[in-house]
Structure formats: C-alpha cells, structure tokens
Amino acid sequence: MMGLLIADKDVETRRHMANLLIEAGYDVTVTDSALKAIHGVLKKTAQVVVLGSTLGECTSAELVPLLKQCNRALMIILVADDAPLPLIRKVRKEGIFYHALRPAEPEDEEEIRQVVKCAMDSLTRDPYSRRVHTH
C-alpha cells in the first residue's frame, strides 16, 4: 500500500485528518516535523503528503520545493485556509497536486477523501509516466 503522510504543525488538524483518512482505509503516518516529512519522502514511505500551511518552523512555500526535489512524482495536497494568495501561487508553480481549505463541516471532509483518492489513483494508474528521467 502506498504511504500517506499528514504533515502539519497543528496537533488537532493532524488528528482530525488522520482519523478521517484512516476511516477511509488509508495507511496514515503523521508528523509535525519538516525533517521527518523530508525523510519519509526520501525513503519513499510517503507518496502522497497532506501538508498544512506550516510545519515546525517552515512554511509550505519553503517545504514544497524541497519535497519535490526529493521526489518529483510526489503528490502534495496543501490544506490551508489561512495562506495568502502569493504563497498559494508559489506552491502551485512548484507543483502541488491540489489546494483545499481545512474541513469545517462534515460535508467538507468528502473533498479531502476524494482528492486523496484521486492522488492515489493517479499514482497507481501509471507510476512510471510520472518519473523524472535524468541523463
């Protein structure tokens, strides 16, 4: 099974997202550490990262390029409702898979479940087409 990492500074958000995605059948790891998130991506234990706007002392704008350098095929789902528009534009250019607002109502949780499913499906459909080849 592919790894799903929830990386967020806020403990309540991590707990809520983990419960939501475990109930949906995913194998979930959580962290509040940028170093642990990078380690998970480097060791390929995480193919999909649900990333909050801050992680430790780092912002998502700082982390997204680092995570993508570790694995260009990594699917990053940014879940942040307090991020300024310039930051959102920057992480989109870096190659996030999706940007969602934090679920406020139970109905909002369906968006998160669907986007994680979509990210996982796109990786399993043709994982070789997403690799970056260097010569």
Report pLDDT for 81: 83
Mean pLDDT of 70-93: 89
Report pLDDT for 112: 95
- Write the DSSP assignment of 66-124 as a string of letters: HHHHH-TT-EEEEE-SS--HHHHHHHHHHT-SEEEPPP-SGGGHHHHHHHHHHHHHHHH
Tell me whether strands 48-51 and 54-55 are parallel, antiparallel or unpaired: unpaired
Q: What is the pLDDT of residues 5-53, one digit of tens each?
A: 999 999 999 999 999 999 999 999 999 999 999 999 999 899 999 999 8
- Among 131, 130, 113, 112, which residue's Cα sits nearest to residue 122? 130
- Of the two residues 1 and 76, the one the predictor is more confident about is 76
Mean pLDDT of 84-97: 89
Report pLDDT for 126: 58
Determine how many CB atoms are found less than 10 A away from the CB of residue 90: 18
CA atoms of 93 and 30, how far apart (whole Å): 25
